Chains A and B, each alone.
Chain A
């Protein structure tokens, strides 16, 4: 088994290879504006580091967000196309689950929060590093303060809003290594992973135009 994992749902562009037992190579760069440029070279680098070619990969794992859409789609489109070209399955993993897994907390509850921009966070609560309690959601930190009060918080979204998340726990950024390990664990147990479809959580910003605007001067 050789899993290629990637995630572009947050400012981190991260790639990892997992051979079924352990992560054998990984890369992580933080740059919110260059997902498109950074991802393929990172895949190339990680493969070279492991001394492997892409055609050795038996499955692709991709973070399905939630996360800012433009970046999120880079990872999903790349994973989908690898799946098509290589004829291997593509598995989705919730990006927040990857952060929870990397936090390595055995006894929760705790919360994971990433930056959703527009003064909001993507977030979910967890019983432990492998067990999510709530569906991923997008909210203003102040609006969920009651529900996360007293809980340790993981992720860059927590660091941004210390009033709501005073108890911050590592890590700040998601890693494909964590995503790959979590996916390998679940696949080994025979669990089904979600389809590689994006968790957008918000509708597209689009307004049906108001009635035609008159141009004749009054």
Chain B
């Protein structure tokens, strides 16, 4: 165990300042500072507010993670950081901190992909990822089906949303229902007391000629909003619980149906679900049912590891160290649209060599 890589990971792609520490596939610390309350009155994440909060929270959060893990910074084997995708200004705060920290401590730096990190975090919960793994990533920022044969080098997109992310649809419907922001947890709560079959909302992109693994939630969102408006226009009370349950059912039905189909088509017997929406209780139940029926093993991390956090970045960083992947250079930049196919951002060797000499000699 002790010879497994000890890695600190920094995540600032959206509104959570996350610093996690892992040893190999063992979680040692998962410190989070969230600015979500500051965004609530705006009904969505405000990039500048998030960036300001990251700058304030970073040093205390690193400190907290080190204390929680009971390790000393000088014993770290590497520093990992989300290089993208995400909010450009927010990412840049984390990347600046990670570079300065790695440089000052004389440790290798790994700029890693946020989406691959969401997959890799499951190693902290359920041990090494099977190869290949099918992953369904669903959050306010992403909705994708990804197939990975090696999380440090090969992530292949199978499908993605063509309009809204699943989490965005939750936020928007919560707003129509006047339930506040963020919408995911509150819709989940109301849905528990509602009838998921009360209203037959449309299932996007499920026709015979539609792309098998892509998602669309924009039509569903409009259908739900129209249904509510019609009720209001008729002077009738809106059955909030039934609407929440029926809307949620439409989302998770499509997500799980397509994920299971992708597993079957590709002959993959493991499905991993990550991202903030993976905390949704109905998604977890339905995915479990459908995976069992199809003979697929489902892996979903605990909710705190599904939402954005630093431990997931550390988990992928540790895998990069373990597999001897090249480090990033000191001119690593934040890339708000880093492609999902790049699990990390390796540097150009010569720059790093010069720096290494300066650091370690």
B332 to chain A: closest CB distance in Å? 8
The chain B residue with its CB closest to the CB of A38 is B331
Interface residues of B in 310-338 (CB under 8 A from A): 330-334
Query: Which residues of chain A have C-beta atoms less than 8 A from B103's C-beta?
Result: 40, 43-44, 54
* Residue contact A44 to B330, C-beta cutoff 8 Å: yes
* Residue contact A36 to B48, C-beta cutoff 8 Å: no
* Residue contact A44 to B358, C-beta cutoff 8 Å: yes
Assess whether B33 is interfacial by the CB under 8 Å rule: no
**What's the tally of chain A residues with a CB closer than 8 Å to chain B?**
41
Interface residues of B in 338-361 (CB under 8 A from A): 351, 354-355, 358-359
Query: Which residues of chain A have C-beta atoms less than 8 A from B100's C-beta?
Result: 40, 77-82, 85
A7 to chain B: closest CB distance in Å? 14
The chain A residue with its CB closest to the CB of B331 is A37
* Residue contact A39 to B358, C-beta cutoff 8 Å: no
Query: Which residues of chain A have C-beta atoms less than 8 A from B230's C-beta?
Result: 216
Interface residues of B in 56-110 (CB under 8 A from A): 58-59, 62-63, 73, 88-89, 92-93, 95-97, 99-101, 103-105
**What's the tally of chain B residues with a CB closer than 8 Å to chain A?**
47
* Residue contact A40 to B229, C-beta cutoff 8 Å: no
Assess whether B46 is interfacial by the CB under 8 Å rule: yes
In the complex, A54→B107 CA distance in Å? 13
Assess whether B175 is interfacial by the CB under 8 Å rule: yes
Assess whether B233 is interfacial by the CB under 8 Å rule: yes
Q: Given A36-B333, A84-B59, A84-B62, decide whether A204 and B97 contact each other with a Cβ distance below 8 A.
A: no
Residues of A within 8 A of B (CB): 34, 36-41, 43-44, 47-48, 53-55, 69-70, 73-74, 76-86, 198, 200, 204-209, 212, 214-216
Ranked 8 nearest A-B pairs via Cβ: A85-B104, A204-B48, A81-B100, A206-B46, A40-B330, A77-B96, A78-B100, A37-B331
Residues of B within 8 A of A (CB): 41-44, 46, 48-49, 51-52, 55, 58-59, 62-63, 73, 88-89, 92-93, 95-97, 99-101, 103-105, 175-176, 178, 222, 225-226, 229-230, 233, 330-334, 351, 354-355, 358-359
